Amino acid sequence: MYARAVAATTTALLGTAALLLPASDARAGAAHPTVIAHRGASAYAPENTLAAVDRAAELGISWVENDVQRTKDGELVVLHDDNLKRTTDAEQVFPDRAPWKVKDFTAAEIARLDAGSWFSPKYAGTRVPTLEQFMDRLELHHQKLLLEIKNPDLYPGIERQTLKVLDEEGWLDPHHLANRLIVQSFGADSIRTVHDLKPAVKTGFLGTPPEADLAGYAAFADQINPSYSSISRGYVASVHALTGPHGRPMEVFTWTVNDADTARLVAGYGVDGIISNKPDVVRDALPAGLRPGHESTAPAPGALSVAGRTVGTWTAKGSTSSRSCGPSSVATSVL
């Protein structure tokens, strides 16, 4: 009888403590920033190539971000810029094809280009991968994908096509949807379309909407993913205070953080993910308890155990919400 009374009192105290704690504090014991390799480990290998995926895997980085665009003949390829000049030798191979837009070249033509020499002679002959090739390499390493639909206004219907490729590659099964795939874009309409077509897919909006507008994005975006220079602890808390389309607190993945001091700063803000060209630098800058893979699964001695949120675990649910928000696209992006 006495034991039951003590247990009941303890349970009541634990429940009261959890209710009294601010939401961010309640999450702090369980949450840790996910580290994402930006365009692969792009400080060490040419961006958005299979070599950059391999380098991320060698560094022990599970999450890889990429950029998806479409060729003249309808193939999805992994490239950041809407033209081929910066990261390939298109100007030399096709000197009369200015301004060398991705959408003006076939997949076979792009496959001829050298996408590595601009970065280092070591990578001469590296090719621009198709989305399928990129995903196959991720699967080989058991990695996860933060996929950005790039310039959706240039490619009508790219959302449906991207989902089709993801499905054909087996990335829309429950396992991948649970914790291995996020689709993001600077275009709010694009992310809304992804959500409407496949509500189970976790989505992110790239940018820093005014705090007053954040609630509108919660109808179709699970994340708000801003530049690190545009956020504060208060902004991150405002995002976390909202419930996303899958019934869980919205998250913040911030970019592009390449040094230890900034990594510790934004981790202190409470962000859920840090996107970096140097993911190893970010990972190693975080205190051991905040590094991916180092989170504790048991409370410290004498600590209260409260309900928390663990980044990287996701229960996919459908949503039919149709609320709208502010801007549908952002003209310039650097992610």
- pLDDT tens-place string over residues 13-57: 333 333 332 333 323 323 589 999 999 999 999 999 999 999 999
Closest by alpha carbon to 86, among 124, 53, 46, 134?
A: 46
Q: If DSSP codes are grouped into helix, strand and coil, which group holds residue 33?
A: coil
On the CB side of 209, how many CA atoms lie within 13 Å of its CA?
26
Interval 295-321 mean pLDDT: 31
- E-strand ranges in 152-307 read 181-185, 202-206, 223-225, 251-254, 273-276
On the CB side of 33, how many CA atoms lie within 13 Å of its CA?
31
- pLDDT tens-place string over residues 161-174: 999 999 999 999 99
Cα 240 from Cα 253, distance rounded (Å): 12
- pLDDT tens-place string over residues 209-224: 999 999 999 999 999 9
Active site residues: 38, 80
Pairing between β-strand 251-254 and β-strand 223-225 as defined by DSSP bridges: parallel
Cα 295 from Cα 135, distance rounded (Å): 28
Q: What is the pLDDT of residue 292?
A: 63
